[in-house]
Amino acid sequence: VKPQPKSDLAEFREVFSKAKHIAIITGAGVSAESGLPTFRAASGHWRKWKTQDLATPQAFSRNSSLVWEFYHYWRELALKAKPSAVHLAIAECEARLRQQGRAVVVITQNTDELHRRAGSKHILEVHGSVFRTRCLSCGDVDVNHNSPICAALEGKGDSDPNCPDADIPVGNLPRCDEGGCDGLLRPDVIWFGETLDSHVLTKVEKELDACDLCLLVGTASVVFPAAMFAPQVASRGVPVAEFNIRPCSSTSPSTFYFQGPCAETIPLALA
């Protein structure tokens, strides 16, 4: 039987001090410290929908206006948010360890770019970014931080359940400006039922195989394939340290478990 994860910070710090290649897997709990709602908490609902209802290609083809309103809401929240103490501690850790010839990679499920804004350099965004668009006609992917992303979404996207849907005509939603293409744009994120970008996944696999310490921070670990990343590392006998506000589950593959808000635990762990 697998022993229960340990919560001994001094022992973790000992392992951390020797690690040369650290993979940090992050989820919505890290951005919760920047005030962004997580996906599976009650606060994660938008109007009367859950993420599972909106983050699908079917939802987008059925009602592109509604899904764009949701992503407009997200983009505006993320633009206003500031990187938290967790984002900053992770970025500082990467810079400090780089001086010592040690590597840190952030493997994030978050699409809000807060790790990047905190100064992390080596980031793999496995679920894409809400600040990129992809054209449904020509496939062009573009970086886009405009606020709002198009005139029709100005003032839309209120999360209140009583807010009426904007029903924006599809011609007024974000459109491709690539050489007269004018195709409908979608957020360049990974929705349920879609496969992750194979180039990104290949890089993730390399990092998971190379790391000698893995941190799992603020994720429910229920969405595949990302939910398998830490167990995959643990199965090689490499230590995994989990940081989450919820209590440790009996099936946790982790070696270490630090329960509490990650803005409190992570800066201490990585100092």
Q: Does residue 246 interact with ligand BJW by CB under 6 A?
A: yes
- Give the residue, chosen from 55, 152, 213, 216, that forms a contact with ligand BJW under the rule CB under 6 A: 55
The three-class DSSP label of residue 169 is coil
Q: Is 29 in the site for ligand BJW (CB under 6 A)?
A: yes
Which of 19, 25, 33, 67 touches ligand BJW by CB under 6 A? 33
Rounded to the nearest 10 degrees, what angle do helices 9-18 and 262-270 cross at? 50
User: How far is the C-alpha of 132 from the C-alpha of 141, rounded, in Å?
Assistant: 7
What is the DSSP pairing of strand 123-125 with strand 103-108? parallel
Exposed/middle/buried for 218, CB within 10 Å: 0-12, 13-18, 19+? buried
Cβ proximity to Zn ion: between 81 and 135 the closer is 135
What is the DSSP secondary structure assignment for residue 184, as one 8-state letter?
A: B
Q: In what order do the strands lie in the sheet with 185-189?
A: 141-143, 128-135, 185-189
Q: Which of residues 129-188 bind ligand BJW (CB under 6 A)?
A: none
Size of interface with ligand BJW, in residues (CB under 6 A) = 34
Q: How many CB atoms lie within 10 A of CB 256?
A: 24
| Contact pick of 138, 170, 268, 271 for Zn ion (by CB under 5 A) | 138
Strands 213-217 and 21-26: parallel
Task: Tell whether residue 181 is a contact of Zn ion (CB under 5 A).
Answer: yes
User: Within 81-113, where are the H helices?
Assistant: 85-99
Residues 107 and 205 sit within 8 Å (Cβ to Cβ): no
Q: Looking at 16-24, 137-145, 157-165, 191-199, which segment touches ligand BJW (CB under 6 A)?
A: 191-199
DSSP 251: T
Q: Which stretch binds ligand BJW (CB under 6 A): 9-17, 59-67, 139-147, 242-250?
A: 242-250
- Pick the closer one to Zn ion by CB: 181 or 227: 181
Catalytic residues: 127
**Interface with ligand BJW by CB under 6 A: which range of 1-9, 75-83, 145-153, 238-246?**
238-246
The binding site for ligand BJW (CB under 6 A) comprises: 27-29, 32-33, 38-40, 44, 51, 55, 109, 111, 127, 189-195, 218-220, 222-225, 243-246, 261-262
Point out which residues bind Zn ion (CB under 5 A).
135, 137-138, 140, 176, 178, 181, 183
